[in-house]
Every structure is written in structure tokens, then in C-alpha cells.
Structure 1
Amino acid sequence: MDRLPSTAHDSVFRDLSFRDLHNYSKANRNARDIILKFYKRALRVEHVLLPFFTHDEIRRFRILQYTIGFLIAGSTALSFFERVVYPESDLDLYVDSRYTVFLTDFLIDSGFTFHPIRTSHKRQPADITNALEEMERKLQRLIENNNLGDDHEYRWTAIAEVFQFSRNGKSVQVIASGKESLGSPLHIVFDYHSTVVMNVVSYSHAISFYPQATFVDRVTVVNSIATARRDQGPPRAKYEARGWEIRTSLEAADTFNKNSEFGKVDRSVGDKHCWTVPLQPVPDFVPSDMRLGEAYMLFANSWTNEYMGRNGVAIKARPYFVPGLTQSYCLSKRVFSSEFLMFFRSSAVLTPPTSSSTDPLLARFVGDVLRNPVKPSQKDAFIGEVLADAFRASRRNKKSVLLEHKHQVSSLQGQMLQTFLQDLISEELGLPKFIFRFAQNGKGALWTNVDIYLPSRYAPSGEDLVLDENRRSVLLEHRINVDIKVANALNNSLYVEIPSDAKD
């Protein structure tokens, strides 16, 4: 196939799924290069914008995107990577509320009609100028009173307002985010219902945040941050109808794996887990002084994967803004709490730097933090490695990466066992040895059985330690059975036993 011209490759590859193309690319280096060249030809932003705009309008659209930094997300961003078009879908554009007027002016000038939202709970002004002014008043009220009012439709999100437009039967939604510390366009994406729609297209790049789950495994993992809202069922059902399987839990084998996109780590836009596609710049375009679509600004955003219960992954990103920044950023837990950032925040308040220097400075700082992770203690590193190895072995010979909740060691079980071991183990007294046995009961539920061999210093009398009954009861409730012994019975720190008849 490598001797065929590129046009022949296109006719073969265009009907193949991402998984098929991914598998072919792994054959050898030449196959990988062929697939990369195909994607460079096939993944063009014009393909998803042509249903809504003319070629000349697309040029002006992208120049405006570079200028004010808005994002394409939702079904359109997903269709970019899928190389398909969802005819019934709107074009969803996410923009900082301060720059919304530039985007709405572009749509009105292009012949789109504004359609005010009228429901039993909301009556948007008929004139777009009045609707924008009303949004500004709401945001000002939030800043002054820390309250948008109980009737505000988007009070649990970073959304300030939604504006609907249409032309020739095609609909465009402009979703404005809260300004400054109230959120950013990307923050709205991180509040989405599940991971299948966590993809964005900027001026410079198209980025999928969870490509392995979305395009290889064809699953969408519930975002537990969004489950507090009551409107999450219908959008999840829409993507389930399109072929994605909804997952409400993850395996501990993934969450304890630092090389997984769902690992309990700080993630950043464009990191090694993302699928990042550079986009061709607009030809003969000379940038102005306003450049919110610069790539480094997008890559300065980060988030944290956390697991707090049974509902999927908690995608946590703190909105960050100080005077001098041109926009709000999303920051992961570790970046947001770092000492330098606190100094940066207090310094900016006292002596606001110029915008030309503040955004690059923040971007460099975020990159430095994420490139230099905090080294865990010997105990925490030991526990993490033991659990990662054990949980990876627990899925051996499994056909599916993500199984039903009762057929897996869940992230919640892994978190509970990790917390228990952190309380039990002392570096001063020595590190224990383990035997893990994973077995399924008659109903197919997978149990984690752990024999823990503690050094004799934990119990000088030589007697085995007795596990607190309340703690044992909680562990058993989550299918974890722990037996603690005081002995030096094993040569290796970890032994994992998998029954040969374990069910898939």
C-alpha cells in the first residue's frame, strides 16, 4: 500500500474507522507516516465549517478566532476527528463574555438571524444588543453579590449566556463564559456531561482530551462534576445513540496507571495523552495586536483527574484570572495551589503587569510546574507502584478495557485500598510484602483479597495485627478482603494470583 499515490490512500482510508487506521499505523514506521499524512489531508477545519459558512466567511471566521480566542466544541469538534458530519447538529462556539459582541457582530453581518430564547423560565430580549447588555448586568450582579439568582439557567456552570442564530436552516450557538475569575470557554467544556465531547478546535490546533476512550474504546465516561445538574441524561443519550457506550465507573488499572489518560494525574491541554492536530494558518494573514488565539494560551490550561465516588471521573479545573491577563485560564489542583502562583497572584494585584508579558509568563510557569512533578514520599511511591502492578494484573486476559462495574476492580475500590494502606504503613517500621488474589463470586463480582505481611517491628510481641471491625466492614462492603500478618514470609514485595477460570 505504501507504493500507492496519496489519492489512492485517501479512497481506501476515508471509510476506515479511527481504530482501523490506528491499528494499521502500528504495523511499521512507514505505515505510521502514511497515516499521519492522510490525517494531515483529511483533518481540515474547513470540512466542518463549510455547512455553515462560505469559503470567504471561513477565512474571516478563523481570523476572528485568532483575534479573540473562541473555541469550537460540542458535536462539531467531535465530527472533526471522526471525519463525519452530523447534519442535525448546531455549530457550538465558546467565547469569553468580554469578546462575545465581536462574534455576534460577525454572525449578524454574515446574514444570520438572532433568535431570542423564550421559555417559561426565560425571556431573552429580541434585540441582540439588549441581550448582550442583559448578560453583562447578570455578570456584574454575580461579581457584586456572588449570586446570579436562583432562576439563572446556568448557575451551576461557567456559562454566562447562550445566543442562538440561524441561516438557511443551519444553527449556530454562541455560548459565552463568565469573565475573569468566573470561568472561561474551556472551563465550560470541562463541565460537560461526559468525556466524548471533551474536544476543542482553536485557531491553531484541534485537540481531543480523551482520545483512547472516545475513538478506540468507543466509550464515554461520566463526568461526576456535571452529575449534580439535572439536565445530563438527554445529551448522554444522544451520544449513546451515536454508538458510544456510557461508563459510570473506571477500572483501578487505569486510574493508577500514570500512562493512562484517566490516571490520577495533572493533565494539560496538548499533553502526551491528547490527540493534538496542528491546523493550517490562514494564508496571507497579518496578525493584529489582539492575539487571544495564540497556541501557547490554549496549552497553558490544565486540569486534574480525580475519583471521589462511583460516578466516573471528576474533571477538576480551577478558573484563574489576575489583572493583566487577557483571559481566564483553567488550572489543575497542583498548579493552582503552587507557591509561585500565589506569589504571582499577589504581585499582580499590587502591581498589575502589562498584558503583553503576563500571559506568556503564566504559560511558562504552568509548563514548568507540569514538567517537574512533586516527588512522592517513599511510602506513597511504594503503595502506588504495588497497586498499579496488582490492578494491571487483575485485568489480564480481559477482552474489554472497560468492563461493567461489578466485573472490575473499580477506581473507588482502588482509592479505598490506597487510603487504608497509607494509614497502615510506616516508613520507619518498614515496608510490607503483599499477596493479591482476585476472584469472582457466584454473581460474577470481582473481589480483591489482600494478604499483607508486615515486618516484625509493627508488632514486637509477634502477634498478628487485628483490623478494626468498622474498617473491615467498610472494605468488605466494597469487595475488599484484607488479612494482616506479621512475618517476613515472602522474598518479593508483590505476588498476584489470578484464577485461570476468571470470567470476562
Structure 2
Amino acid sequence: MTNPTEFLSLAQSYDSHLTFSKPEALDHMEVDSAGAKFYHIAFSCTHRSLYDTIFDACTPAMMYRLGRVGQLSYAALKDYMKRAFDINKHFARFFTNPSSFRLLQAQTDCVVSGSNALQFLNRKIYPESDLDIYVDVWKARRVCKWIVNSGDPHRAYSFRPTPGQPDNFMDAWEAIVREAEGFEHIVPVYGIHNAASATGLYKVNRVLAVFNFASSDLENDRCRKIQVVVTDVSPLMSLLTFHSTVVMNAITHKAAYSLFPKATFEEKTTLFTAIRETKHEYAIKKYIDRGWKLVKSITQEVQRNKRSAFRYGKRWVTDNKSWVFPLDTSGLGRDDDRFANGSFNLHCRIDDMMPEMRFTSIKDSTLENSYVLNLETGAKVKAYINLCEETPETVSEQAITRFNEICRVHCGCRVNDFTPIHDQILQCSAFRHMVSEWPTLGQLKRGGNMKRLV
């Protein structure tokens, strides 16, 4: 964050409804004003501890608003954020060389999620909390080996098997590989799975294994724990199956994400979106004890309110209801972020009117990556794949990523509980825009064959 324009962009990405004036309002106030005197004292560069205390007590929205009051508060906030949102310092609790871990993130697309991501964005530390890392099965072994071989004598990690796992990591890994091969015969891994929900595809959430690692921190006399959660679909699917919205946050190599920042940080509420089980009730209690209010259902008025944190409908990881906090990617050799390409629906179940997350997953042997998309975007990508099968076009990951962005900007569909019928797709401006970018598919449209194929 090096200039006011960049600051404004970040602030508006946190809350699209915020409006700001030029940051100089109080800098030229009458110095005899009590408010002006306090302002010039509190945000002076010689009173860092004072403005740190002020910003620590602020929600993110309040913090950004203060930063826009004047040049002094802007400079103070920029200084504060550089220290409060130091990702290397955050990961230093678990790794002596956090930059090396971030490079691993860039190379493997592993995602830190759960309470650790919440702690980073909330500027809080829960001392006994674990570090949860979600990673695709094909890259999980590399992540696990890196953790064990990170080379820190003061914080060396060792594999801690769960009941039923072999004592040796490689034996445990090979057992999971064999189990995964059998899993593929029971549950289809490849293809497009419509209307998957928070219960997971076919009542499972695509988590293949969890590997635990622990370290005796000799310097602080404390045990550090890391969980590597192995998935066979994008880590976003696992995040969407969490018990409630307070933990739907993630850290990648490029950014930290909160899918429900207004509820989580401003209103201190969390929406229960998982199936009602005792284990979920226990997990949520921790956050109730930390000050969050649990919401189990929402009224139709809240569902339809455009300003509501829990408005039902289609969502994107990078839409204006999310908070995307960019991180420094210098030295990581990569600037794209696959996690940012995801989308989902906040949905109301018809049978009991309970909220849940819904999405379409796409995984194909010809694609390097898997995708989790909202129902509207998933329906269009499914139509695109069907069209490619009837033309010389091949399914392109670049196209899928591009389509997701086009849908975010142009899609006016309202699928909700049903997969859209042909006419809905064909009439969608986003789908027409998508097809226009691919000449062969455009020929189908002009030839009148589009409706038959989608």
C-alpha cells in the first residue's frame, strides 16, 4: 500500500458501500479546535503507541474510515497496517523462514484456512490454535515433506499419526493413495457435479486425509501443531463446508480472503451453514465464547436485502461482498491466484429453510486444476464443455477462468434452486459474451445449433 489510490482501492474492496472524500479534511482545521488538537496528537508519527491502540480497537471498516480523515491519519494507518498485517510475522509462529513457506504456497496452491486466516485478518492470536493447510492430493506429499524437512532445530516437526494411521508418514501416505484409488471407483472424481452443497458431493466433502504434524517449540516451551488437509477438489470446496461463516477465510501466496467480512468483523455474527451435528455445535461454541453471535436462520427480508451480509444468491470469491487483502508477492515468481477463480451460492434449503452453501465442481483428467463455481457459472461452463465436444475446440482452463470473470461482471441469471433451462442460458448476456470470444462456438450460434447442444 504505497499511495492513496491503492489505499482507496483496498478500502472499497472491503466495503463497496463506503464512500470517501480526499484525505485532507482535518489537516487544515483550526488548531484551536479540541477535535483537531486530538487528531494532530493521536496520529502524529511521534505517538505510534497511541494510534496503534486506536486502530487495534477499530473494526476494519472503522479503521479505513479513520485513514481517510486526513493526511496524518492516512500515514498513521499505512504505518499501522504494514505492521499489523505482516504475513511473514504471522507465519513466523510456525516457521522460522516464513518466506520459504509462502514460496511453497505459490508452487503448490496450498491454502491456509480456518481460524488461522481469521486471526490474521482480525489481528488477534489464539495461542493454542493450529495451522490448517488445505492442498490438492497431487501436491500434498510435497507440502508434508517440506514441513518435516524445514530444517529448524528449534521447531522441528514430526508426523503424529491419528488413530488408525501407520506410525510412519510414507506408510500413511501410501495407504491414503490406495484408499483414494478405491474412492474413485465408488464416487466419480471427474466430471461436472451440479448442486453440490455444504454436505459435500454425495454426502462427503472430498477430504481424502488429514495429516498431523507437531513441534516442541524449545524457545517458548509450547507445542506447535500443523494439520495438512488433503483434498481431491479445489480447497475452496472444503472452506465452503465449514460449520459457519466466521471461519470462511483463507490465505494464499497472493492474498488473504474473507468471504463474509461484514458479518465477521463488523457485526460479529456467524451464520450456521453446515448440517446440524454435535461436532459442529462444539466447534461453533469456541467462537461464541470469543464474542461472535450465532445465526441459525435468516428472514426473507435479510435474504433479499442488497446490503445484508447474508443476502442469498450467487457469490464470487473476489466480489464486492468479500474482503481481499493483497499480500506482497515479491520473490515468489507468480502473480496469479487460482483460489480467486472460485464462486458459490448462499442458498436456502426448501425442506427446512436452513441456509447452506451450494456450488458446482468441475474436475477433468485433461485439466490441471479443479474448479468450484456457483450454479449459474457452472451451468454455463457445462454448456461450454458440451459445445467443445461437438466442435474442434478443446476445453481450455484459460476459458473457464475467463468465463468465471465474465459471469461475475455480466451474469443476470437467478438460478437458485434449479439448473437453468436452455433458454435461460442462451438469453444470458454473460453466456453470449463467453461464446463470442471463441470463433468456432460463435459459428454454432449463427447456425442455430446452440440450443440443441447446451
Instruction: Mark yes or no: TM-score above 0.5.
Output: yes
Aligned identity (percent) is 25
Residue type matched to 1:98 in 2?
W
Q: Which moved more, 1:62-71 or 1:246-255?
A: 246-255
2:230 counterpart of 1:176: yes
2:99 counterpart of 1:79: no
2:346 counterpart of 1:298: no
Give the gaps of 5 or more residues in structure 1. Answer: 149-153, 381-414, 416-504
Aligned 8 A contact 1:258 1:265 in 2: no
Mapping of residues 76-475 of structure 1, within 5 Å: 76-110=116-150, 111-118=156-163, 123-146=164-187, 156-168=204-216, 169-178=223-232, 183-223=233-273, 226-227=274-275, 229-283=277-331, 285=332, 287=333, 294-295=336-337, 297-308=338-349, 312-338=354-380, 340-344=381-385, 347=388, 358-374=396-412
Residue type matched to 1:363 in 2?
T
Q: Deviations over 1:183-213 (max 9, x none)?
A: 3211101000000000000000001110111
Aligned 8 A contact 1:101 1:132 in 2: yes
Aligned 8 A contact 1:116 1:164 in 2: yes
Mapped partners of 1:88, 1:72: distance in 2? 16
Aligned-partner SS, 1:320: strand
Seen in structure 2, the aligned counterparts of structure 1 residues 266 and 21 have a Cα distance that, compared at 3 Å, is: closer
Aligned-partner SS, 1:366: helix
Seen in structure 2, the aligned counterparts of structure 1 residues 246 and 376 have a Cα distance that, compared at 3 Å, is: closer
Structure having greater relative contact order (Cα 8 Å, sep ≥ 6): 2
Q: Deviations over 1:448-487 (max 9, x none)?
A: xxxxxxxxxxxxxxxxxxxxxxxxxxxxxxxxxxxxxxxx
Residue 360 of structure 1 deviates from its aligned partner by 2.7
Residue type matched to 2:124 in 1?
V
Aligned-partner SS, 1:306: strand
Aligned-partner SS, 1:189: helix
Residue 251 of structure 1 deviates from its aligned partner by 3.2
Q: Deviations over 1:309-337 (max 9, x none)?
A: 65652111222122343221110011111
Correspondence for 1:13 among 52, 69, 72 = 52
Residue 304 of structure 1 deviates from its aligned partner by 0.5
Seen in structure 2, the aligned counterparts of structure 1 residues 44 and 254 have a Cα distance that, compared at 3 Å, is: farther
1:61 alignment counterpart:
101
Residue 96 of structure 1 deviates from its aligned partner by 0.6
Seen in structure 2, the aligned counterparts of structure 1 residues 330 and 36 have a Cα distance that, compared at 3 Å, is: farther
Aligned-partner SS, 2:134: strand
2:88 counterpart of 1:46: yes
Mapped partners of 1:243, 1:375: distance in 2? 37
Aligned 8 A contact 2:246 2:260 in 1: yes
Aligned 8 A contact 1:95 1:177 in 2: yes
1:30 alignment counterpart:
69
Q: Which moved more, 1:326-335 or 1:16-25?
A: 16-25
Mapped partners of 1:133, 1:155: distance in 2? 25
Q: Which structure has the greater CA radius of gyration? A: 1
Seen in structure 2, the aligned counterparts of structure 1 residues 29 and 363 have a Cα distance that, compared at 3 Å, is: same
Residue type matched to 2:355 in 1?
V
Q: Deviations over 1:277-296 (max 9, x none)?
A: 0001244x4x3xxx6x832x
Seen in structure 2, the aligned counterparts of structure 1 residues 135 and 6 have a Cα distance that, compared at 3 Å, is: farther
Q: Deviations over 1:247-291 (max 9, x none)?
A: 1112333210234332222111121111110001244x4x3xxx6
Number of residues paired by the alignment?
Answer: 351
Residue type matched to 2:146 in 1?
F
Mapped partners of 2:85, 2:390: distance in 1? 43
Mapped partners of 2:53, 2:354: distance in 1? 33
Residue 156 of structure 1 deviates from its aligned partner by 2.6
Mapped partners of 2:411, 2:57: distance in 1? 32
Mapped partners of 2:362, 2:179: distance in 1? 20
Q: Deviations over 1:320-369 (max 9, x none)?
A: 1223432211100111112x532236637998959xxx333211111101
Aligned 8 A contact 2:376 2:413 in 1: no
Q: CA RMSD in A?
A: 3.1
Seen in structure 2, the aligned counterparts of structure 1 residues 10 and 270 have a Cα distance that, compared at 3 Å, is: farther
Mapped partners of 1:361, 1:304: distance in 2? 21
